[in-house]
Structure 1
Amino acid sequence: MKIPACVAAFGAALVLAACGGGSDGESTPTPAQGGGGGAADGAALFTQNCANCHTLAAAGAKGQVGPNLDDLRPGPDLVKSQTENGGGAMPSFKGKLSPEQIQAIADYVSENAGKS
């Protein structure tokens, strides 16, 4: 079983339950994923790091731990801040993802939230 990023970030059984168990085959990303010398792929990064916990129809994500991003429709600044700093059950991804990767996720979510 591969461990989702939210579990790997905390490494605790409590978070495993909160993140939906992680049996869906998603891999734990490395900071290099999505970067590759070019623009980071916000869709792939979201799927790898966020989809276990958040709902976002555009990504086919149906997580139920974190806020439903289609309902929330956050702007890029809010997504970036939350991704960098974490909060509640959400871990911080600062230092795990590059600033460019975090920005790519923020842009992807803000551009796609509420759209299917």
Structure 2
Amino acid sequence: MVREDGKRNFVLREEDGTETSVFSGSMPRQAALKAARRLDPAGSEEEAQDGAVEIRLREKGTDKVHIFDAWAWESSAPEDKPGWMEGSITKGNVSKKGIEHLEE
């Protein structure tokens, strides 16, 4: 279901079917990128991509489950970072595998 601001809500589904965190975005990939940043980060992007994790996001109000391979890595913060930002940040990336429909 689309909100007034054009964004949709996606719920992270665990392997056992439980639903935990909610991520919003105008597209499923945008929500998946937010979810990917919460993964345990690797030292570099190459290491992280080798250990990609499958994440499943169900679009609220529908039976669609978007499936992504996701990975995260540590990166140094930009030089023009604000004063409150730490020296390193977590970056994430995803690759879409497909869509399933729930039969519940």
TM-score, length of structure 1 as denominator length: 0.32
Instruction: Identify the structure with the greater strand proportion.
Output: 2
Instruction: Identify the structure with the greater helix proportion.
Output: 1
TM-score, length of structure 2 as denominator length: 0.34
